[in-house]
Structure 1
């Protein structure tokens, strides 16, 4: 009870303080509050010539869950989701090379290259075998890692993952085929508002000042994100031939209203996986762990519990 009261007081003070801070300070304060709630610490590690930033928390002796974000995103995408897991698991959420606070190396950002970079990070952290979970592009990378390194993965969870040619083309794919601008790359404040509406059914609340600041940050990276997206398309690696090589039990979670990657991808994936479990979440878009963090974590925890001996 004391911990609960202290947490509520901390949250109230933090929320009140945010009203008087600059947008940059607001973001830093929100990140701090969410890290505290999730029990995570900010860390960094040198991997070759790259500096990789990540969150780390939970019991050091517990099994590790590694969380891999999607395109134009970062490790903060996992904070509210991680809150429901870090008491029983060691949780690591990283900024992939080229994203967030991690270094932006020269060279390619196709999923094959990023998978090998992820492998180097995992080796440097010395955390295999592990539970691997990824969203969107991060799901594509995570699935490819599980296929290439099957002995290092205890379980795999894919949240609205890329890498599949869906029977029903997504709205994103249809827009791009018509030659329209990529809605995932932000170039203005209006683009950021449209991005939130495109990715979520119910966008998370953000103060207007913070939306503007996040839009500015995203706009500043638009040239880099255009490059990354071009690499993902031009050097595309389909998952269909890779999925049968995955040995680990695999959970697929998909938002039923995902406009970025169509839910019909599941129809392709399920028969190719050795041990699939599927959850389709109603009234949910492309990033379930952000839009519905507790519900998504409940599904994921149930999946992890089912993998324990005797379950």
Structure 2
């Protein structure tokens, strides 16, 4: 996908962190935090939907997309530390964050050690449901989700998984599967919207409600007829929710 306005490369987190940028200068910036094995690629529909009201910055965390990673894949805390270092290096503080799937876990972990970096937050499809913490159950849920996603998502994900490699994706998944995100939610004290598609099998409504109730300043929003990856398959709806949060915050 080559329709981004610019690509940044910043020395941070012991590597050269890549971020794709779309949107005019002089408007609020939004930093996007990708999910497992993903990259900047699948944020493009959301970035287009959010422009020109916001400037979208889709960062590739170490080992994913166009950002080199260490030989041993980072766990949730390691990835959130890398995100914090990049935010400081680029002068983005506090900044609105929009995360998808396991990226939500990184934002919650970030709130536990660097709350000063975080502005209002949108958490799309926060993982993992603590009542279904097994690789098998999550694999089945992901397979069930494919019918609710746009066909082009498969191409974007295939390219992103080719970037990181299946071994890194698997080891990262094992770290994230056992991350006790529910124990850290009280640290995220900025205005937050938890978002799920009504057909999202990865994040059942009961888990989304439980997750939202544990956050100090959050509300739950649902997108009718959508699945797990709203930033790609329902970008206009996710952009509308994000825009509303930004309008109240700024």
Task: Tell me the TM-score normalised to structure 1 length.
Answer: 0.71
Instruction: Return closer, same or farther for 1:204/1:270 CA change in 2, 3 Å cut-off.
Output: closer
Counterpart-to-counterpart distance in 1, 2:190 and 2:160: 40
Q: Runs of 5+ in structure 1 lacking a partner? A: 1-30, 185-194
Query: Is 1:110 matched with 2:63?
Result: no
CA RMSD of aligned residues (A): 2.9
The offset of 1:307, in angstroms, is 2.4
Query: Is 1:262 matched with 2:227?
Result: no
CA contact (8 A) 1:66 1:133 kept: yes
Per-residue Cα deviation, 1:275-309 (whole angstroms, up to 9, x for no partner): 1121112211110111111111112211221223x
Instruction: Return closer, same or farther for 1:206/1:77 CA change in 2, 3 Å cut-off.
Output: closer
- What is the aligned counterpart of 1:176 among 119, 126, 136? 136
Structure of higher RCO (CA pairs closer than 8 Å, 6+ residues apart): 2
- What is the aligned counterpart of 1:130 among 95, 98, 109? 95
CA contact (8 A) 1:98 1:104 kept: yes
Per-residue Cα deviation, 1:116-152 (whole angstroms, up to 9, x for no partner): 0111111111111100111011111012213332222
Aligned length: 250
Partner of 2:41: 76
Instruction: Return closer, same or farther for 1:150/1:163 CA change in 2, 3 Å cut-off.
Output: farther
- What is the aligned counterpart of 1:228 among 156, 172, 185? 172
Partner of 1:85: 50
Counterpart-to-counterpart distance in 2, 1:302 and 1:111: 29
Task: Tell me the TM-score normalised to structure 2 length.
Answer: 0.87
Counterpart-to-counterpart distance in 2, 1:109 and 1:213: 20
Q: Find the residue that maps to 1:106 and give its secondary structure.
A: coil
Partner of 1:284: 226
Partner of 1:241: 183
Query: Is 1:307 matched with 2:241?
Result: no
CA contact (8 A) 2:42 2:156 kept: no
Instruction: Return closer, same or farther for 1:241/1:176 CA change in 2, 3 Å cut-off.
Output: same
Instruction: Return closer, same or farther for 1:274/1:216 CA change in 2, 3 Å cut-off.
Output: closer
Instruction: Return closer, same or farther for 1:246/1:100 CA change in 2, 3 Å cut-off.
Output: same
Partner of 1:297: 239
Counterpart-to-counterpart distance in 2, 1:279 and 1:66: 20
- What is the aligned counterpart of 2:195 among 243, 250, 253? 253
Instruction: Return closer, same or farther for 1:112/1:54 CA change in 2, 3 Å cut-off.
Output: same
List structure 1 runs of 4+ shifted beyond 6 angstroms.
none
Instruction: Return closer, same or farther for 1:56/1:175 CA change in 2, 3 Å cut-off.
Output: closer
CA contact (8 A) 1:164 1:240 kept: no
